[in-house]
Amino acid sequence: MIERDDLRAAVAAGVLSEAQAVSLTGLADSRRGARESLAPGDEPFELFKGFNEIFIVIGLIILATGWAAVNAVTMATEIMNYRTQAMSMAGIGAVGLWLLSEYFIRKRRMIAPAIALSILFAGNAAFGFVARESQPFMIAQEDFSSLPWPFMLSTLALLIYWWRFRVPFALAMIAIGLFIIAILLAAISAGTPDSFEALFLLSAGGPFAWITLALGLAVFIVAMMFDMSDPHRVTRRSANGFWLHIVAAPALINTIALSFLNQDGTGSNLILMVVLALFAVVAIVIDRRSFLITAIGYVVALSTTMFESNGMASSILALGFGLVFLGAFWERIRAILLKMIPFLPLSKLPPSV
């Protein structure tokens, strides 16, 4: 074990520079915080470090609620000039959220407040740009041509926010923002779909289903780039990959699940189970339980809320059994799969325990 005194001695001897020693200490602390209480092979996940973070998040929510109420009163008194008022209030809100982020994220390194501030910053940016650029009367007539530009500006603002504070959750919201923009552009060019189901059916007309698949694949690739740059998952790049997988899995399974669940007969359920099995293989190989649980959770939510099928009851039971089984023997199954697929870049994947 290398202690801090050893690092000080290395700096004094000229083996390490002071900056290198600080970086190495920070990496060790980060790795210890993410891995110290985990079993070998488990996936790091942390939403908050203590109740003080929850306390601060509650305070931020109340603060945001009060600010929204002030905005509503101000815009009601200046209804004829609501666009300028909305942008002014959004600008003030952005400055306040930025300063709070400097303190709670960059200085205090808090996780839960970072997520809350990212959501508030994205909502504030969307409120300002949509109020400034959108046309309410056109939207009421299902003309969404005024919406893509404000959402583009909001996503760009969130990208700048992520670049400064590197909050992994903000990266997931950027991916969702790009998805919203793509769907809006498709709706403008191809027309509004007749129903929610038609939005993601491969058999339906329009580009919506293919946009979902393409964006899901793109987000998955970016997530894998983060994961493969940090196979031991000791840096923030791993957290970036985690949240992007949370977005990618529903996007990839969305079109496939809806297309199969929309059909009648047990054959469609069987095909869907095969597709989910392939998702499970991918999740095990890349060692991302979050990728699989999000995909399966999304399918279960769709099957229980949107479709009535006797066959889906047994399918949901099988999915539950499969998840419990994988949770019990994940590492053993992963070790077998890695040996069975010799062409995998093992040096870029998490090591098998």
- In this predicted structure, the answer to whether residue 110 has a pLDDT above a threshold of 80 is yes
In a domain, 266, yes or no: no
Question: Could you give the number of structural domains in the chain?
Answer: 1
What is the average pLDDT score of the chain? 80
Q: What phi and psi values does residue 351 have, to the nearest 5 degrees?
A: -65, 150
Render pLDDT for 142-201 as a digit per residue (tens, 0 to 9): 656 778 888 999 999 999 999 999 999 999 999 999 988 888 887 777 666 665 555 555
Alpha helices for the chain (secondary structure H): 4-13, 18-35, 51-77, 82-101, 112-133, 136-140, 148-165, 168-190, 208-228, 236-261, 266-286, 289-305, 310-340
Q: How far apart are CA 167 and CA 237, in angstroms?
A: 10
In a domain, 23, yes or no: no
In a domain, 276, yes or no: no
Most confident range (mean pLDDT) of 49-58, 111-120, 123-132, 223-232 is 111-120
Q: How far apart are CA 168 and CA 172, in angstroms?
A: 7
Look at 17-31, 51-65, 301-315 and tell me which has the smallest mean pLDDT.
301-315
Q: What is the pLDDT of residue 55?
A: 94
Q: What is the pLDDT of residue 39?
A: 58
Closest by CA to 125, choosing from 86, 99, 166, is 86
Q: How far apart are CA 326 and CA 351, in angstroms?
A: 18
Asked whether the whole model's pTM tops 0.85, one would answer no
- In this predicted structure, the answer to whether residue 312 has a pLDDT above a threshold of 70 is no
Q: How far apart are CA 87 and CA 124, in angstroms?
A: 10
- In this predicted structure, the answer to whether residue 90 has a pLDDT above a threshold of 70 is yes
Burial zone of 77 (CB within 10 Å; 0-12 exposed, 13-18 middle, 19+ buried) = exposed
Residue type, position 352, single letter: S
Torsion of CA 184, 188, 189, 194, to 10 degrees: 90
- As a whole number, mean pLDDT of residues 306-331 equals 74
Q: What is the pLDDT of residue 176?
A: 92
In a domain, 303, yes or no: no
Q: What is the pLDDT of residue 1?
A: 65
- Cβ contacts of 92 within 8 Å, gap of 6 or more: none
Q: What phi and psi values does residue 146 have, to the nearest 5 degrees?
A: -90, 0
In a domain, 166, yes or no: yes
> Please, how many CA atoms are within 13 Å of residue 107, restricted to the half-sphere of its CB?
7
Render pLDDT for 251-303 as a digit per residue (tens, 0 to 9): 888 777 666 665 555 556 677 778 888 888 899 999 888 888 888 887 777 66
Identify the band that residue 92 occupies on the pLDDT scale cut at 50, 70 and 90.
very high
Residue percentage of the chain with pLDDT more than 70: 77
Closest by CA to 335, choosing from 267, 289, 262, 284, is 284
Q: Please check whether residue 210 is in contact with residue 173, taking contact to mean a CB–CB distance below 8 angstroms.
A: no
- In this predicted structure, the answer to whether residue 102 has a pLDDT above a threshold of 90 is yes
SS (H, E, C) 211-232: HHHHHHHHHHHHHHHHHHCCCC
Q: How far apart are CA 50 and CA 43, in angstroms?
A: 20
Look at 181-190, 217-226, 239-248 and tell me which has the smallest mean pLDDT.
181-190
Identify the band that residue 78 occupies on the pLDDT scale cut at 50, 70 and 90.
low
Straight-line distance from the first to the last Cα atom of the chain, in angstroms, rounded to the nearest whole number: 21
Q: How far apart are CA 15 and CA 9, in angstroms?
A: 9
In a domain, 322, yes or no: no
Q: What is the pLDDT of residue 123?
A: 93
Q: Please check whether residue 127 is in contact with residue 90, taking contact to mean a CB–CB distance below 8 angstroms.
A: yes
Q: Please check whether residue 261 is in contact with residue 200, taking contact to mean a CB–CB distance below 8 angstroms.
A: no
Q: How far apart are CA 79 and CA 286, in angstroms?
A: 53
Q: Which domain holds residue 67?
A: 50-192
Residue type, position 239, single letter: A
In a domain, 353, yes or no: no
* Number of H-type helices and E-type strands within the chain: 13, 0
Coil vs helix vs strand at 209: helix
In a domain, 273, yes or no: no
Q: What is the pLDDT of residue 64?
A: 93
Q: Please check whether residue 227 is in contact with residue 288, taking contact to mean a CB–CB distance below 8 angstroms.
A: yes
